[in-house]
Chain A
Amino acid sequence: MDFSLTDEQNMFRDLFRDFAEKEVAKLAEHIDRSEEPPLDLFRKAAAQGFFGAPIPEAYGGVGIDWQSYCMLAEELSKHCLSTAITIGLHTSLAALSILDAGSEEQKQNYLPSMAAAEMIGAFALTEPDAGSDPGSMSTLAEKIGDGYRLNGTKSWVSNGGIAGVFVVFAATDPKARHKGLTAFIVEKDTPGLTLGYREPTMGLRGLDIRTMYFEDCIVPEANRLGAENGGWPIILRAFDRVRLTLAAVSLGAAEASLALGVTFAAERKQFGTQIAHKQAIQNYVADAAVDIEALRGLVRHAAWLADTGQDFGRAASMAKYFGARAAQNIANKMLQTHGGYGFSDEYAISRYYRDVRALRVLGGTDEIQRYVVARAAFEEKGIRIQP
């Protein structure tokens, strides 16, 4: 048993932290106000290898392990959740799905430019009527000659407006529900693909979330990802990865919120002393610190499972669920610590408060995570529960 980080992991963390403090911190407020994805920042991050962090070196990436990758998400989200999530979804959902299921040719074609952020990736799964239940999706892919014709609508596609490449799921056998889904790699300029409305959101305002329309969009067979009707396992594995990523994002957000609260409490004076001396404030701070420590344990454990090739789905769900709730709770308490200032946009805590709320929905709602965890608990006793 050994809980210490390796020298390499420590080095990566320092690198991530350094970049986040120098480059991301100063832009965070601007990103939130302008609601623009910071493309320049992405180019700098890509130059450091962040966009290809978990992609193997053979495909132009850095090939870091999950433990370090989680620290990347954590360090970025300490300053800007939009940026952390843009990079997190690009890598964990889009790029790693291609690495996971793609042919050698597809990997050669897409991964190097994704690692360089020349092509940002997006993952188009959710539909207006298919959220937590992807099996009920209505986007169709009909086989025609040596390609497929896609028709339908995808909503809530994160990175939609800035993406160069989409991993799209469509039904090739709609009657088979989730067993009839197929994954495709679709490039931005493919005829028949139209980007729609950008969702105006409460938080994560730097994240470009779009609706997408497919009208007789022809995708060549060479761009099918994995086997026909083989989309479901790709989705499940992508879920495991994105949940772990978002758990690490929650950890960073929670730590940042706590740090803001502690700094404020050390400066703010009421009744003649710093409010740090008030036990009410100390209680908020202590509870937050405990949750963060517990969350760190969950994230590291899940990442270790992933690194050692074990099944990490249940652990990632737990970490994501626990993390999202903890992050929201902590942001709320730290906003409270700020008093009226917390409500002001002049203080960063209000941005965190708005941003972290998304974590309880994004990448599988709290309710779905709880189902996954409960399913594992009951399976041990030999009973299969349905969602």
Chain B
Amino acid sequence: MNILVPLKPILDPAGMIVNRKAGRVFVNRENYMTNPADKRALEAALRIKDEAGAGVIVAAFGPDRSADSLLEARAMGADRAILIDIPSPDETVSVHALAALCHHLGQVDLVIVGDSALDTGASIGPRLAEALDFAFLGGAVQCSVEGNAARIIRRGDSRGRPDRASARPAPAATAHEADLPAVVAVTREGAQPRYPHGGNIITAYRDANAIESLSPADLGLSDSDLQPVAIERGQSFPPEREFGKQASLDDIASVIGHR
């Protein structure tokens, strides 16, 4: 069984300062990290590998900044790392390329993605499932493979919004299953990613063949597949929210009285 996990390197938010007055986000330290949900998706895949045995393939878009994410994944236990040579694709292009990668690799039974990226987008999972005609399971905090099915645990609304019809609190967690092949989206509440053995880091980084590189041509992607649908026109802050009014006792009394 093969599991594909796409990884996205993002700018570490700890190095950024938001300055509303200047209308800008200042980057004090330009550090890249693997998107947290993607890292949890990788952990889910590695757990399936540990329990049931599977080949774990990680993929990222490059050429810049992705090497660290891929090599770290290799050190954690991924069997192959693939760098797709498309610099910063939008979600549409990403979905085209990942679907093409699945076809290129042949036997991919399960794709585990992070359900959202900290910087942009949360639609890779369902769109990729649609493109591949796979089943889709979203919001997973746990993922396993049983027989020919992917099984996930989805956490219920833990704030316990009462179910109006039955007046009972919502269940804490639900289990869902779908036949393979499937796409699973793991949330940031998924299992804590493991630390790699330090020796594996050294080995992965010193191995010149740790990362395989694929060009759009290798994947059979045409120019139209690489055309982004969305165009970025600029950035701005959402309008500032007004402060609420501090209610006086009289105000409150009048509201209660009115009721």
List residues of A whose CB falls within 8 A of some B CB.
379-382
A-B contact pairs, 7 of them (CB 8 A): A379-B28, A380-B28, A380-B29, A381-B28, A382-B17, A382-B26, A382-B28
Q: Which residues of A contact B28 (CB under 8 A)?
A: 379-382
In this complex, how many residues of chain B approach chain A with their Cβ under 8 Å: the count is 4
A146 to B29, CA, bound (A): 46
Expressed in whole angstroms, the minimum distance between the Cβ of B256 and any Cβ of chain A is: 45
Counting chain A CB atoms within 10 Å of each CB, the highest count among B17, B26, B29 belongs to: B17
Expressed in whole angstroms, the minimum distance between the Cβ of A375 and any Cβ of chain B is: 13
Counting chain B CB atoms within 10 Å of each CB, the highest count among A380, A381, A382 belongs to: A382
Minimum-distance CB pairs A-B, first 7 = A382-B17, A380-B28, A382-B28, A380-B29, A379-B28, A382-B26, A381-B28
Smallest Cβ-Cβ distance to B17: which chain A residue: A382
Smallest Cβ-Cβ distance to B19: which chain A residue: A382
Q: Which residues of B contact A380 (CB under 8 A)?
A: 28-29
Mask for B30-68, Cβ within 8 A of A = 1, else 0?
A: 000000000000000000000000000000000000000
Majority SS of interface residues in chain A?
A: loop
A381 to B14, CA, bound (A): 10
Mask for B3-29, Cβ within 8 A of A = 1, else 0?
A: 000000000000001000000001011
Q: Which residues of A contact B26 (CB under 8 A)?
A: 382
Q: Which residues of B contact A379 (CB under 8 A)?
A: 28
Expressed in whole angstroms, the minimum distance between the Cβ of B36 and any Cβ of chain A is: 22
Expressed in whole angstroms, the minimum distance between the Cβ of A24 and any Cβ of chain B is: 45
Q: Which residues of A contact B17 (CB under 8 A)?
A: 382
Expressed in whole angstroms, the minimum distance between the Cβ of B166 and any Cβ of chain A is: 50
Expressed in whole angstroms, the minimum distance between the Cβ of B255 and any Cβ of chain A is: 42
A382 to B17, CA, bound (A): 6
Q: Which residues of A contact B29 (CB under 8 A)?
A: 380
A380 to B28, CA, bound (A): 6
List residues of B whose CB falls within 8 A of some A CB.
17, 26, 28-29
Smallest Cβ-Cβ distance to A381: which chain B residue: B28
Expressed in whole angstroms, the minimum distance between the Cβ of A90 and any Cβ of chain B is: 37
Smallest Cβ-Cβ distance to B15: which chain A residue: A380
A241 to B248, CA, bound (A): 64
A251 to B69, CA, bound (A): 42
A380 to B17, CA, bound (A): 10
Smallest Cβ-Cβ distance to B26: which chain A residue: A382
Q: Which residues of B contact A381 (CB under 8 A)?
A: 28
Expressed in whole angstroms, the minimum distance between the Cβ of A383 and any Cβ of chain B is: 9
A184 to B17, CA, bound (A): 39
A379 to B26, CA, bound (A): 11
Expressed in whole angstroms, the minimum distance between the Cβ of A174 and any Cβ of chain B is: 28
A62 to B86, CA, bound (A): 44
A381 to B26, CA, bound (A): 11
Smallest Cβ-Cβ distance to A379: which chain B residue: B28
A380 to B26, CA, bound (A): 10
Expressed in whole angstroms, the minimum distance between the Cβ of B23 and any Cβ of chain A is: 16
A379 to B28, CA, bound (A): 7
Q: Which residues of B contact A382 (CB under 8 A)?
A: 17, 26, 28
Expressed in whole angstroms, the minimum distance between the Cβ of B90 and any Cβ of chain A is: 30
Smallest Cβ-Cβ distance to A380: which chain B residue: B28
A382 to B28, CA, bound (A): 7
A299 to B26, CA, bound (A): 30
Expressed in whole angstroms, the minimum distance between the Cβ of A126 and any Cβ of chain B is: 33
A381 to B29, CA, bound (A): 9
Expressed in whole angstroms, the minimum distance between the Cβ of B26 and any Cβ of chain A is: 7
A379 to B17, CA, bound (A): 10
Smallest Cβ-Cβ distance to A382: which chain B residue: B17
Expressed in whole angstroms, the minimum distance between the Cβ of B238 and any Cβ of chain A is: 21
A268 to B29, CA, bound (A): 55
A327 to B29, CA, bound (A): 34
Expressed in whole angstroms, the minimum distance between the Cβ of A67 and any Cβ of chain B is: 26
A251 to B259, CA, bound (A): 82
A46 to B131, CA, bound (A): 72
Expressed in whole angstroms, the minimum distance between the Cβ of B34 and any Cβ of chain A is: 23
Expressed in whole angstroms, the minimum distance between the Cβ of A23 and any Cβ of chain B is: 48
Expressed in whole angstroms, the minimum distance between the Cβ of A1 and any Cβ of chain B is: 14
Smallest Cβ-Cβ distance to B16: which chain A residue: A382
Expressed in whole angstroms, the minimum distance between the Cβ of B205 and any Cβ of chain A is: 14
A381 to B15, CA, bound (A): 8
A140 to B252, CA, bound (A): 67
A130 to B29, CA, bound (A): 34
A382 to B29, CA, bound (A): 10
A135 to B165, CA, bound (A): 73
A381 to B17, CA, bound (A): 8
A382 to B16, CA, bound (A): 8
A382 to B19, CA, bound (A): 10
A13 to B28, CA, bound (A): 38
Expressed in whole angstroms, the minimum distance between the Cβ of A127 and any Cβ of chain B is: 34
Expressed in whole angstroms, the minimum distance between the Cβ of A311 and any Cβ of chain B is: 13
Smallest Cβ-Cβ distance to A383: which chain B residue: B17
Expressed in whole angstroms, the minimum distance between the Cβ of B119 and any Cβ of chain A is: 19
Expressed in whole angstroms, the minimum distance between the Cβ of B129 and any Cβ of chain A is: 41
Expressed in whole angstroms, the minimum distance between the Cβ of A310 and any Cβ of chain B is: 13
A380 to B14, CA, bound (A): 11
A382 to B26, CA, bound (A): 8
Expressed in whole angstroms, the minimum distance between the Cβ of B5 and any Cβ of chain A is: 32
Expressed in whole angstroms, the minimum distance between the Cβ of A99 and any Cβ of chain B is: 30
Expressed in whole angstroms, the minimum distance between the Cβ of A379 and any Cβ of chain B is: 7
A256 to B28, CA, bound (A): 41
A199 to B29, CA, bound (A): 46
Expressed in whole angstroms, the minimum distance between the Cβ of A6 and any Cβ of chain B is: 25
Expressed in whole angstroms, the minimum distance between the Cβ of B153 and any Cβ of chain A is: 39
Expressed in whole angstroms, the minimum distance between the Cβ of A346 and any Cβ of chain B is: 55
Expressed in whole angstroms, the minimum distance between the Cβ of A135 and any Cβ of chain B is: 23
A337 to B33, CA, bound (A): 54
Smallest Cβ-Cβ distance to B28: which chain A residue: A380
A379 to B27, CA, bound (A): 11
Expressed in whole angstroms, the minimum distance between the Cβ of B257 and any Cβ of chain A is: 48
Expressed in whole angstroms, the minimum distance between the Cβ of B101 and any Cβ of chain A is: 36
